[in-house]
Structure 1
Amino acid sequence: MTVLAPLLKAPGEALVALDFDGTLAPIVPDPTQARALPETAPVLRALAPKVRAIVIITGRPALLAVEYGGLADVPNLTVLGQYGLERWSAGSLQTPPEHPGVAEARAKLPLLLAKAPEGVSLEDKGHALAVHTRRAAEPEVALERLRSILEALAEKTGLAIEPGRLVLELRPPGMDKGKALTSFAEEVGAGSVLVAGDDLGDLAAFAAADALGLPAVKVCSGSAEVAALAEQADVVVDGPAGVVALLAELCEEIS
C-alpha cells in the first residue's frame, strides 16, 4: 500500500503543507541564492486543483519564498512566512509590525559577531535575524561558539532562538510551524494532511499533524545534517527532488 493512501481516500479534503528551504529548494551556502527545483511550480500547479489547499510554512519572508520558488501563479496556494507571522495568498501579503526586540538585536549583532569565525554571516529577514555558519571553515564549531552569545541576546531582547541546519535564528516568540499548521488546517477544514520538512523547526509541524487527529503523512526531506526529523517521519525521501517526486506521484494517483 502506498504511503499516500491516507490522502487518497478523499483527496479533495487533503491539505499539503510544505517547508521551503531543504524541502522544495536545496540548501546552499548563501541563502539568497536558494531556489526551488524547476519542476516544483509545475507539479504544484497540477496538484493544487485536486486537493483542499497547499500551504508553504517557512522561516523565510513569505514574498521571498514566492519569488525564489516561482510560485506566484500557483492556484490554491498560501504561504505562511516567518513561521506563520506573515501570510501571502493570491498576490496579497499580510505582515505584522516588527517586534521591538528584533530592532534591538539588529543593532547589537554586528558588534557581537565582530570576532566570529570567518564565513559566519547574518541574514536579516525583517521579522527575524539568522546567523549562518555554513560557510565557516568549521561550521559546527562556529555554531556552538555562537550559541551561548545568541541565547543571551535572545533572552535580553525577548526573542526566541530557533536552531536549524548550521543556523541560529532570533525571532519573536509565540508562533511556530506547528501552530501555523494547526490554525490553517482548521481554517480550511482539512480532512487529511501531508506535511513535509527537513529541519528541526519542522518537528513542531509533525507533532501538530499528529495532534490534529486526521489521517496524516509526515515526509522528511532527508539529509545527513538532521536525524531527529527522520525518526518521526512516515517516509524519508532523497531531499527536495524526492519531495517533488512524491508530490508528482500524489497528483498522478488522484483520479
Structure 2
Amino acid sequence: MDFRSAEAERHYEDVVAHASGLVVGMDFDGTLAPIVEDPAAATILPGTGDLLVDLAESVSALAVITGRPARQVLALGGLEEVGVAVGQHGRVLHVLGQYGNERWSSVDRRILSPQPPRGLSTFESRLPGLLRRYDAEGAYVEDKGLAVGIHTRRLDDPRGAFDRLLDPVRGLAEELGLQVEPGRLVIEVRAPGTDKGAAVRRLVEQVGAQAFCFVGDDLGDVAAFRAVRDLREQGAVAGLLVCAGSPEERALVDLADVVVDGPDGVQEFLRRLAADTGVRAG
C-alpha cells in the first residue's frame, strides 16, 4: 500500500476520522475481481465479500460502481448475499451498473433501469463490418443491454487491435449519438450523459455522505476520481482516491492518493480500512 505523499496520508486519516459518514465506492473488474479473458468468468476474489461486511460495521454505506450490468455484477460478486449481511449491520450496499444508469440497493433489491439508448441497435448491426475492415473479427462483443463492449484481449495482438479499432469505433458511435469509453483492452459504447463521476455525486447527495473513498483501476474510473477530488477541494466531503495498479493501465496513478497492487492489494486496503475505522468507531 503506497501513499503517494504526506498529503495523501492526511486524506486517509481524514476519511477514517469521518468513518460514520464514509461511503466506500469500488469498481468491479480489476478492483474487486481480477481481469480475465472471458468477462463472464470474472468473479470477486475469495474473502472480499467478508471484508466488505466487516467494513460495513463502521462506515455509512458501500457501493459498487461499474460499467457492467447490475444484474451481472450481483451474480458474479455474490453481492446479494453480501447486501443481506451488510443490512444486518444497519448499512446499505448500493450497486450502480452501466456507469450509474442502473441502480440496485440491498434495501429494495430491485434493479431500476432506463430503456436502451437510441442508435445502439444500429451500431450493433454495423459493428461486424467494422471489425472485418480493421482485421479484428475475433474480438468478443458483449451486449450489455444499455451498452456494447468490444473486447480485444482474446486476439493475437490485443493492444494492436485495440489501437486500430478505437478511432473508427468512436467515429461510428459519434455518428449515432453514442459515447465511447475506452478501458483495459475493451472499448465500450453507450448512451451519453452519465458516467461514474455523476454516479458518485448522486450517491453523495442521496446518502448525505461526509466522506467518500473510491477504489478503481481503469480509464472508466477517471470521472469518479475527479468527482471525489472536486468534492474534496470544495470542502463538501473528506475524500480518498485508491488506484488498483496494473501494468496495462496507468491512467489513475497520477490522480491517486494510494496505489495498491491489483485486487489482492485492494483486499489489503479494505482490511486496513476496516481495522482503522473500527478502532475509531469503538
Question: 2 CA distance for matches of 1:28 and 1:147?
Answer: 21
State yes or no: 1:229 paired with 2:241: no
Other structure's SS at 2:119 match: helix
- Determine the structure 2 residue equivalent to 1:77: 93
Question: 1 CA distance for matches of 2:47 and 2:59?
Answer: 19
- Determine the structure 1 residue equivalent to 2:194: 175
- The one-letter amino acid of 1:237's match is V
- Determine the structure 2 residue equivalent to 1:5: 13
- Determine the structure 1 residue equivalent to 2:39: 31
Q: Which runs of 5+ in 2 are unaligned?
A: 1-8, 87-91
Fraction of identical pairs, as percent:
45
Question: 1 CA distance for matches of 2:165 and 2:240?
Answer: 36
Question: 1 CA distance for matches of 2:105 and 2:182?
Answer: 27
1:130–1:170: 8 Å Cα contact kept in structure 2?
A: yes
- The offset of 1:2, in angstroms, is 7.7
- Output aligned runs, 1:31-180, within 5 Å: 31-73=39-81, 74=83, 75=86, 76-90=92-106, 91-115=109-133, 116-117=135-136, 119-180=138-199
Question: 2 CA distance for matches of 1:100 and 1:3?
Answer: 42
Count residues in correspondence. 255
- The offset of 1:49, in angstroms, is 3.2
Other structure's SS at 1:72 match: helix
- Determine the structure 1 residue equivalent to 2:3: none
Question: 1 CA distance for matches of 2:143 and 2:78?
Answer: 22
- The offset of 1:119, in angstroms, is 3.7
- Determine the structure 2 residue equivalent to 1:191: 210
- The one-letter amino acid of 2:158's match is P
Residue deviations 1:32-58 (CA, integer Å, cap 9, x gap): 111110111111112123211111110
Q: Which runs of 5+ in 1 are unaligned?
A: none
- The offset of 1:226, in angstroms, is 1.2
- The one-letter amino acid of 2:55's match is L
Q: 1:169 to 1:56 in 2, by over 3 A?
A: same
- The one-letter amino acid of 1:219's match is V
2:195–2:223: 8 Å Cα contact kept in structure 1?
A: yes
Question: 1 CA distance for matches of 2:58 and 2:112?
Answer: 26
1:118–1:136: 8 Å Cα contact kept in structure 2?
A: no
Match of 2:262 among 217, 233, 239: 239
Cα RMSD (Å) of the superposition?
1.4
